[in-house]
A and B are shown apart, each in its own frame.
Chain A
Amino acid sequence: MNRSDPPSAVWPRFLPSGDAALTVELGDEVDRQISTRVVRLHRHLRAHPLPGVVETLPTFRSLLVRFDPRETDAAALQAARTAIIGEMSDEPLPSRRWGIPVCYDPEFGLDIHEVASLAGMTLHQVVECQASAIYYVYMLGFLPGYAYLGDTPEPLRLPRRRNPRTRVPTGSLAIATAVASVYPFESPGGWHIIGRTPVSFFDAAADEPALLAPGDEIRFEPIPLEQYEARHKAGGARPRLCDGASA
């Protein structure tokens, strides 16, 4: 599918997902433009809820729309579909850009030597390459606050580890295929761990419990070991919003 195609007769597709949800599919690839449409629709429906719609869940190329089955009959669903189609546009999406400090020292980058070897690079080149990109938040899922970030520069696109870990430390930055992520909690994981951030990606007590939202952008900022230790002791670092203000 041509990346610059506007919404067509094929998309959006409405896929039944039980009696209390609908999957609104906007494309069939992991693509920035498709994702932007999903995020825009998600934000719009959150700000202007349709009757009976109780929640929306954005993913790479679709939006799960959850509604109260007691409040939504066939006519209401059809009206929702029509409203959604009417909302499709390609206007630019306002977004936040974060600066996230990461320590890539092998003490935290548990797999960084292996990644360097597989990519035919030095450690320094791995860090420079990985941190050179501006990452886009496609979606959150898998764990609270776990974000799927893209796109990892080509030379560092590796398949998942053959043997997943049972415990990936909290704050670990990990990569696999074209996606990167930070683990907000200790959890099992099969991606290559290349560093760690002192920033908290999920805090249930905060006004906004997850640091990131779909549509955000991220720059990873390499910091040395001593700085990581200092910020970690201070009770976790604050990420920097790249318009100069801090979070």
Chain B
Amino acid sequence: MTTALAVTAPGLGVTVQDLGRPGYQAIGVPTSGALDPVMLRIANWLVGNAGGEGALEMRFSGPAFELLGGTAHLAVAGAGVEIELMPPFDGRYPAYRSVLMQPGQRFRVILKEGGPCYLAVDGGFAIPPVLGSVSTLAMSGLGGFQGRALQTGDVLPLRLARPALEAEYALRPPKFAPAPAIRVIMGPQNTHFTQVGLNTFLSERFTISHLSDRMGLRLEGTPVEHAGSFDLISDGNAHGAIQVPGSGHPIVLMADRGTTGGYPKIATVISADLPLLGRLPPGAELRFKAVTHSEAIEALRTQDAMLASLKTSITRYRDPGEELARALLEENIISGVADAQA
């Protein structure tokens, strides 16, 4: 008997994403994958999956499901997301803790903010990979669930008939402080801009436009001035490359970006800041700061360490009363040790 999630409300543009399908850009296939791979990993780890297992990426408006078949162990991660059981069932589950659901339970995913959130299930979905990944490239109908966003009536089979982990897990909600600036390395075509243009780019508070999508974040603000043509010979688009078309309004190229393009690319976001960027909803503001290659690698190492620490902090879920008692006990012990050493 297959366990599955039946879609009772589709949300908006909900797609299956994993960490993407790199390796095929030379034949024009975008890398796709989760806009916020940090949150994807957290959702997956909470249900005992490898961090890169396929999960549902949700933005703006969450879907609703009925669980069919057997028990499922699932979790959501992201800013402002929670699970709400629907009548006749009752209850709300916040993000960052996993939940064991029973067949017949109906629930909706509530998104209070616009940024991407992830719903992971223990064992992942039984979806065949395309070119090594279950990520969805909706514009070409590749991958994911039938190459598209979820629709009412879809039935998503789970790989496992029953969860591998019959317990619930949680971690302390990660606090991602808003970054003062998104760090970039200048180039490849920073020489195609005037000094005024470069100054605008590095000082302006840009706003993320509502026209943004998985291909790119469109930025609104003072136009960035070109020096000469904005129509160049097409070259490769790195993830996080910031192209500036004739309008002067930069576009940060994201997961589903076309592999090549002819607009000048003024700078490229560093790897460590890509999940941060992916997390930003339309209407959010951002600034850019130029850094060196060494600083970029250092930032990546710091993020790797943070993620490793988050992963080891996942514990069995305890209800709040028990949690408070434990926290108090730990504080007494720790304080005692510190005083003794002082």
Contact = CB atoms under 8 A, between A and B. Distances in A.
Interface of A: 15-21, 23, 25, 28-30, 42, 54-64, 66, 69-70, 73-74, 139-148, 185, 187, 202, 204, 209-210, 213-214
A16 B185 CA distance: 8
Contacts, number: 145
A18 B23 CA distance: 18
29 contacts: A17-B188, A17-B241, A17-B268, A18-B185, A18-B239, A18-B241, A20-B239, A21-B238, A21-B268, A23-B235, A55-B23, A60-B233, A64-B235, A64-B237, A69-B271, A69-B296, A73-B297, A141-B28, A141-B260, A143-B28, A143-B258, A144-B29, A144-B142, A145-B27, A147-B28, A148-B234, A202-B27, A209-B131, A214-B26
B300 interface: yes
A64 B131 contact: no
B187 interface: yes
Interface size class of B (residues with CB under 8 A): 35 or more
Contacts of B116: none
Contacts of B235: 23, 25, 59-62, 64
Contact of B238 (A18, A74, A147, A187): A18
**Chain B, interface SS category:** mixed
B260 A142 contact: yes
Contacts of B189: 15
B283 interface: no
Contacts of B185: 16-19
B258 A17 contact: no
User: Which 7 A-B pairs rank lowest in CB-CB distance, beginning with the nearest?
Assistant: A64-B236, A18-B268, A141-B260, A15-B188, A19-B296, A210-B27, A57-B236
Nearest to B300: A69
B26 A54 contact: no
A186 to B, nearest CB: 9
Contacts of A64: 25, 235-238
Contacts of A209: 24, 27, 29, 131
B92 to A, nearest CB: 39
B196 interface: no
Interface of B: 22-30, 130-131, 137, 139-142, 184-189, 233-241, 258-261, 265, 268-271, 293-294, 296-297, 300-301, 304
A51 to B, nearest CB: 15
Contacts of A147: 28
A16 B295 CA distance: 14
B28 A144 contact: yes
Contacts of B260: 57, 59, 139, 141-142
Nearest to A208: B27
Contacts of B137: 144
Contacts of B25: 55, 57, 64, 66
A214 B25 CA distance: 12
B268 A145 contact: no
Q: Which of B27, B30, B137 neighbours the largest number of chain A CB atoms within 10 Å of its CB?
A: B27
Nearest to A19: B296
